[in-house]
Amino acid sequence: MTDLKTTSEAFFKQYMEGGDPLFDDSWRGWPKDANQDNVLSWFADFNEKLMAFAEHCKSTQPHRRRPLAQPNKPILGSTAERKMDIRFVSDPKANKDSRYHWLQILIPGELKSDPSADTASKAWLDLGRYAREVLHAQDTRRFVLGFTICGSLMRIWEFDGLGESHLSNLTSTKTVCGSYPQSSGSSG
C-alpha cells in the first residue's frame, strides 16, 4: 500500500460500490442497539476485511496489528485501574485471554452504545486518559491515534504531548486503513 489515498479509494470501490456493498447509507450488519458485545463482534469482522484488503494491496508483509476487545480487563502498568473497551495491539496472535501492558497498545478505542455519549464528559476524556497512558509508557511516540464509537458515530482522534485534536467523523476509512501497513516505527 504505497499510496494510502489510492488504496482507500480502491477499498471504497470494491466494498462500497460493488454488487454486495458494505456501506449503503449505513454499515451493513451494524447492530441496531449498538450494544457493546454486538459492536465489538461487528468491528472484529469488519477489521478482518480491512486487514485482508491491506495485505492484498501490499507486496511486502505489513506489521500486523490486531484489535482486541477486553472491556472488563485492566491494562497492566497503570497507576490507576484502567479498562479499555477496544484497542489495537502489536501482536498478530492477540486473543481474548491475552494480557497487555501500555507499551503494546498502538491505538486505543472507547465504545458507548448511546450516540448522545459523544461528549467530553462521557467518551472523549476516557480516550484522552488512555492516550496519556500510551504516551507515558511509550516515551518515544510523538502522537497516538485513537477512536470513539458512540452509537453509530465513529470519531478519529490524534493525541500528542500537548492534548488532542479531533480529526474527523469516519466518513472514509482512510485513517483506519492507514493503520495496517505501518512499520513498527511509524505508529507515532
| Selected residue with higher pLDDT from 96 and 166 | 96
Paired sense of beta strands 143-150 and 163-169, if any: unpaired
pLDDT of 179 higher than 50 = no
- Phi first, then psi: give them for residue 86, nearest 5 degrees: -145, 150
Instruction: Give mean pLDDT, residues 150-173.
Output: 69
d(CA 84, CA 74): 7
Q: Are 179 and 54 in contact (CB under 8 A)?
A: no
The separation between CA 101 and the C-alpha centre of its own chain, rounded to angstroms, equals: 17
Return the ∠ at Cα 161 (arms to 128 and 141), rounded to 5°. 95
Q: Encode pLDDT of 12-43 as tens digits.
A: 777 777 677 777 777 788 888 778 888 888 88
If you average pLDDT over residues 31-59, what whole number do you get? 77
Q: 107-145, pLDDT tens digit by residue? A: 999 988 888 888 888 888 889 889 989 999 998 999 999
Which grid cell is 27?
454499515
Domains defined along the chain, listed by start: 4-15+32-182 (3.90.1570)
pLDDT of 1 higher than 50 = no
This prediction has a pTM of 0.74
Of 53 and 155, the structure prediction assigns the larger pLDDT to 155
pLDDT band (50, 70, 90) for residue 60:
very low
Q: Among 178, 183, 156, which residue's Cα sits nearest to residue 7?
A: 178
Q: What is the amino acid identity at position 29?
A: G
Question: CB–CB of 63/183 below 8 Å?
Answer: yes
**Residue 91: pLDDT above 90?**
no
Predicted pLDDT of residue 83: 82
143 by Cβ neighbours in 10 Å (0-12 / 13-18 / 19+) ranks as middle
